[in-house]
Amino acid sequence: MSNNASINGGVGSGISHDSTKKHANGTAVYVDDIRVPENALHLYAFPSPHAHAEITAMDLSEVESADGVALVLTADDITGMNDVSPTHSGDDPLLADGKVMFQGQAIFAVAADSLNQARAAAQLAKISFKPLPAILSINEALAQDSFVFTPQVMAQGDAEGELKNAKNTLSGKLNIGGQDHFYLEGQASLVIPQEDGDVLVHCSTQHPSEVQTHVAQVLGVERNAVTVEVRRMGGGFGGKETQASPWAALAAMTAQKTGRPAKMRLVRDDDMIMTGKRHPFQISYEVGFDDAGIVTALDMTLVSDCGHSLDLSRAINDRALFHADNCYYIPNMRVTGLKCRTNKVSNTAFRGFGAPQGMMAIEEVMDQVAQKLGKDPLAVRQANLYNASNNTTHYGMVVEDNVAPEIIAQLKTASNYDKRRAEIEEFNANNEFVKKGIALTPLKFGISFTTKFLNQAGALIHIYADGSVQLNHGGTEMGQGLFTKVAQIVANTLNIDLEHIKITATNTGKVPNTSPTAASSGTDMNGMAAKLAAEKLIDRLRQFAIEHYGVAEGDVKFLPNRVKVGKQTFSFKEFVNAAYMERIQLSATGFYATPKINFDPETGKGRPFLYFSYGASVSEVEVDTLTGEAEVVRVDILHDVGRSLNPTIDLGQIEGGFIQGVGWLTNEELFWNDDGALATHAPSTYKIPTMGDRPDIFNITLFDNENMEDTVYKSKAVGEPPFMLAISTYRAIWQVTKGNLDAPATPEAILKACGEPS
């Protein structure tokens, strides 16, 4: 409904996600819902049964002659390059070539008339292996100097020297587990062959341009022969940033060789076994501090289990280092990142991208310091916060937009922290076995890709002669609401109702050379590109009005759903049609490159982020110290999204991110057998949180703030930061157990920590 006062669905309105009803009634189309042509082939990839082995012989003749089989693919059949590494490091073969590096690595693929036929045929393979010694843990990798990349150090001051001068010191270790993405929709690609050997790839990916690149590389063709389209994903969380390519490439090879459409969809077990996860980390530290709990020196090492290949591990480990300060100023700090190569599936991007592990490390240090001094852990945290004079990070970036102190102060009051902490102390004194814990943890999360060239985005907007608009940009929709937010931005900029903006699937043929929808930057970058495109159109339309109607610039006003030119008022539709009749171009591209950012890995210094997002949470838990069962009874969150583009979507992201983080730190335990096989590869053994795990009292408030940087409508990114709010839950449990509590804090881990001297 148009009205004259304001548009519907503009920036700041809490409208629901554009596909909400379609998600609910089943009409939202995912890759597996696309009706396949009758002669389509279905692929299955045969996973390595060994963690590390040479392939000494391979006889696939029975596979080839099995029922329904059209094609069997091995490394020898790849006409282009046998590599799907996102960083072109050459260590991510599409199909194993002579050796296997982890259990689950694809050795060959079968294309058959049905998935069942392909799976059944694959079992007929005769492969001989010569097993090789496998590295299956961080400690084994460290002992054998097995790394995927060189170490990174970030430092300021003199950590080593000041540790010697410190009034108090302590050292410790912390083990942090990985996490499966558990997107509800698994990896899936459908490839339709086109003329001249070209391919159209429908793919569930956060990074269509990378899928395009890898498919072209594997096929040995130019990228212009490959078009990738993504309408939506059923969740991504980083797991479809680099992990979507192999399946698209195998389906594309099949389409190219057979001329038939080809689909590859991993079943859940294969998806969990064959694709990368969040990096497990091992932290060790030595900290120096004064009697007030001010940290004067910190030397910390963050070691990650990267799995068998580099993938994005360098940037992920770096982001852990960038966040090892969290909100705290540490004048003498040295943090070292080591990236271990093990014979496991290659670990990859996952919401937070290393930052959660870095923050877990420093929050452990804060609690240990408070414990040693017998102080309130929150007081110690507050005493160490960045402030106006102490505002330089260990990587040399000045923290200019610090709102952590205000957020903590507001949340402390709103959540009644002091009173509840006192009540909990009393409760614990009166209860022998059930103990309560409370913790407040803040967060500061840097926004921008730390890989500089990725900080670019494009958009394409068409206005049709009837005044309707079609919107396209390089960002992908994975349920997070990006498409809705960008459409709101365009509605605002054109000053027309949202219902006239048609959202369209991401397509490499429309906007080229895009970056992944990752690093929380989807809206910041694509929203800004779309805004710039819309502004170009407004400028052109204004110029048209000036020339056609002979008015001054100030006499052209774009009002809600109408345009005022001098004394005349046109509906937007009438005005656009008039411009069309006068041969005005009604299509525009927009391009945005994030300003101000730089980082030099050689010196470990720079400004890798345009700005920081902030937040804080208070968790209260109840722990049964006889069994280790923990229940989160109340959570209060205050989170900074700048000027919210859409409070409904932002609250959803905060709630979902927090719960996913609680899953990582409590229930979600990946268990690897001694021979390197993942034993937890289905929901029957791997537990993600559900509705029932939502705390009974769950208060989420948006912090009143605007981005001091020139971001789109002064908003801030929201995708990843709320994940780290869950650290307060882990710290609240630790308040009960003390001791060495490994993450995830499963009941057994909690019981073990309870039994240790603190």
Q: How far is the CB of 671 from other proteins (least distance, A)?
A: 4
Q: How far is the CB of 276 from other proteins (least distance, A)?
A: 21
* Cα diameter, the chain: 85
Residues that bind other proteins (CB under 8 A): 626-627, 667, 671, 679-680, 683-687, 747-748, 751
Query: Which amino acid, 747?
Result: P
Q: How far apart are CA 293 and CA 367, in angstroms?
A: 10
* Cα 31 to the center of its chain, rounded Å: 21
Q: How far is the CB of 745 from other proteins (least distance, A)?
A: 13
Q: How far apart are CA 733 and CA 429, in angstroms?
A: 17
Q: How far is the CB of 751 from other proteins (least distance, A)?
A: 7
**Which of residues 97 and 629 has its CB atom nearest to other proteins in the complex?**
629
Cβ 277 vs Cβ 179: under 8 Å = yes
Q: How far apart are CA 189 and CA 211, in angstroms?
A: 10
Cβ 537 vs Cβ 585: under 8 Å = no
Contacts 24+ apart (CB under 8 A), 535-538: 535/493, 535/590, 536/588, 536/589, 536/590, 537/461, 537/463, 537/494, 537/586, 537/588, 538/493, 538/494
- Half-sphere CA count of 348, side-chain side, radius 13 A: 24
Q: How far is the CB of 679 from other proteins (least distance, A)?
A: 5
* Cα 283 to the center of its chain, rounded Å: 22
Q: How far is the CB of 116 from other proteins (least distance, A)?
A: 9
Could you say which DSSP state residue 91 is in? -
Write the burial class of residue 269 (CB in 10 Å: 0-12 exposed, 13-18 middle, 19+ buried): middle
* Cα 123 to the center of its chain, rounded Å: 35
**Which of residues 144 and 685 has its CB atom nearest to other proteins in the complex?**
685
Instruction: Report the interhelical angle of 727-737 vs 747-754 (nearest 10°).
Output: 40
Q: How far is the CB of 94 from other proteins (least distance, A)?
A: 27
Q: How far apart are CA 487 and CA 239, in angstroms?
A: 25
Q: How far is the CB of 626 from other proteins (least distance, A)?
A: 5
**Which of residues 92 and 270 has its CB atom nearest to other proteins in the complex?**
270
Strand, coil or helix: 400: coil
Angular region, 739: left φ>0, alpha ψ -120 to 50, beta rest: left
321: number of Cβ within 10 Å: 25
Q: Which residue's structure tokens are 């009393």?
A: 426
Residue 706 among the catalytic residues: no
Strand, coil or helix: 534: helix
Task: Return the sign of the alpha-carbon dihedral for residues 110, 114, 119, 122.
Answer: negative
**Which of residues 579 and 678 has its CB atom nearest to other proteins in the complex?**
678
Prior bond to 744 cis, omega within 30? yes
Q: Which residue's structure tokens are 């937007």?
A: 572
Q: Which of 492, 500, 503, 523 is nearest to 460 (CA)?
A: 503
**Which of residues 433 and 453 has its CB atom nearest to other proteins in the complex?**
433
Cβ 745 vs Cβ 678: under 8 Å = no
Cβ 252 vs Cβ 287: under 8 Å = no
**Which of residues 593 and 682 has its CB atom nearest to other proteins in the complex?**
682
Strand, coil or helix: 600: strand
Q: How far apart are CA 170 and CA 185, in angstroms?
A: 45
**Which of residues 608 and 663 has its CB atom nearest to other proteins in the complex?**
663
**Which of residues 79 and 627 has its CB atom nearest to other proteins in the complex?**
627
Beta bridge partners of 227: 200
**Which of residues 116 and 165 has its CB atom nearest to other proteins in the complex?**
116
Q: How far is CA 226 from CA 181, 210, 512, in A?
A: 28, 11, 11
Q: How far apart are CA 564 and CA 181, in angstroms?
A: 51
**Which of residues 396 and 747 has its CB atom nearest to other proteins in the complex?**
747
Q: How far apart are CA 93 and CA 76, in angstroms?
A: 12
**Which element (helix H / strand E) includes 435?**
strand 434-447
Prior bond to 331 cis, omega within 30? no
**Which of residues 143 and 679 has its CB atom nearest to other proteins in the complex?**
679
Could you say which DSSP state residue 554 is in? G
**Which of residues 154 and 678 has its CB atom nearest to other proteins in the complex?**
678
Q: How far apart are CA 349 and CA 353, in angstroms?
A: 5
**Which residues lie closer than 8 Å to 661 by C-beta, 6 or more apart?**
356, 722, 723, 724, 725, 726, 727, 729
Q: How far apart are CA 575 and CA 569, in angstroms?
A: 9
Per the residue annotation, which of 185, 229, 620, 720 is the catalytic one? 720
Q: How far is the CB of 674 from other proteins (least distance, A)?
A: 12
Catalytic annotation, residues = 720
